[in-house]
Amino acid sequence: MPILQIRQAIRDAMKEEMERDERVFLMGEEVGYYNGAYKCSEGLLDQFGAKRVIDTPITETGFAGIGIGAAMCGLRPIIEFMTFNFSAVAFDQILNNAAKLRHMTHGQFGVPMVFRGPNGAAHMLGSTHSQAFEHFYAHIPGLKVVAVATPYDAKGLLKTAIRDENPVLFLESELMYSVKGEVPEEEYLIPFGQADIKRPGDAVTVITWGQGVPVALKAADLAAAEDISCEVIDLRSLRPMDEAAIIKSVKKTNRAVIVYHGWPNGGVGGDIIARIQELAFDDLDAPVLRVCYEDLPMPYAENLENLILPSPERALEAVRRVAYKR
């Protein structure tokens, strides 16, 4: 089976869907002649031409709106943000147009499109370029939200996103584009709302997604050395969410830790805790804990940034606490 980087898996997914469906096109900053800011669209301009691989000015509100209009007219745009931090400029388009037009037109218009790009903190980018936007977008009815951590998941979920009839927020990570993994040569799709057990276990459920996945897996390795068996669940899809997989695991382990990028207040982590206490309260033997950003803007200095970000050591400490091993 071929070994690809996440960036290559993303490129192959877009290439195959553009070959399959002439309505699919890519638009964003530096996606064409520069082959993408992170080389996720390498070679696509040469193959498909400037009508389907469109370089834009720094105008997120403008090209997000153009994409929404194109989707309403029957095309299937892929809108790339150089970082999801820049999607804040286009938030009104996503919130009030992409998410609501199907509802507001009583189904007369659909908005089949993908907004994709790197999300969350990278490395020493400061407070305005280090935010995790899944917590904003997963709150909004009418959107679907996906966060990927492996090449296999990236390709299968992006192909699903491009074919979906609804707007999809497809969240990647600048620090994970070089992550390698096996990707089948034959076509495959991964359904939304289907979590993946990245590591089986029976003592503590560790729920994560996106950039939190490698942190959770490393913490599980450290916990194993202390005879604590962690089951690591990669949600992959945050809206819809695989609630059944979460509850099934918690009923088995009776404990849960949530590891993710983002602030503690008002985020997806708190939503997961609410679902667990609603559906598995009597199965819990310990409080559900979160390992996420500290509740502060992200510092620029590397030593301070490391104190803010979730780490395997912080996740291990949370695992110890719920397992009563500290």
DSSP labels, 255-307: -EEEE-SS-STTSHHHHHHHHHHHHHGGG-SS--EEE---SSPPPSSHHHHHH
In a 10 Å sphere around its CB, with 0-12 CB exposed, 13-18 middle and 19+ buried, how is residue 46 labelled?
A: exposed
Separation between Cα atoms, residue 143 and residue 126, nearest integer Å: 28
Separation between Cα atoms, residue 120 and residue 177, nearest integer Å: 13
| Catalytic one of 17, 29, 80, 129 | 129
| Catalytic one of 17, 29, 60, 134 | 60
3-state secondary structure of 80: strand
The yes-or-no answer on residue 103 being catalytic is no
What does DSSP assign to residue 93? I
Separation between Cα atoms, residue 231 and residue 217, nearest integer Å: 9
The yes-or-no answer on residue 226 being catalytic is no
Q: Helices 312-322 & 212-224, crossing angle to 10 degrees?
A: 60
Separation between Cα atoms, residue 239 and residue 243, nearest integer Å: 10
Count of positions (residues) in the chain: 326
**Which residues are annotated as catalytic?**
60, 129
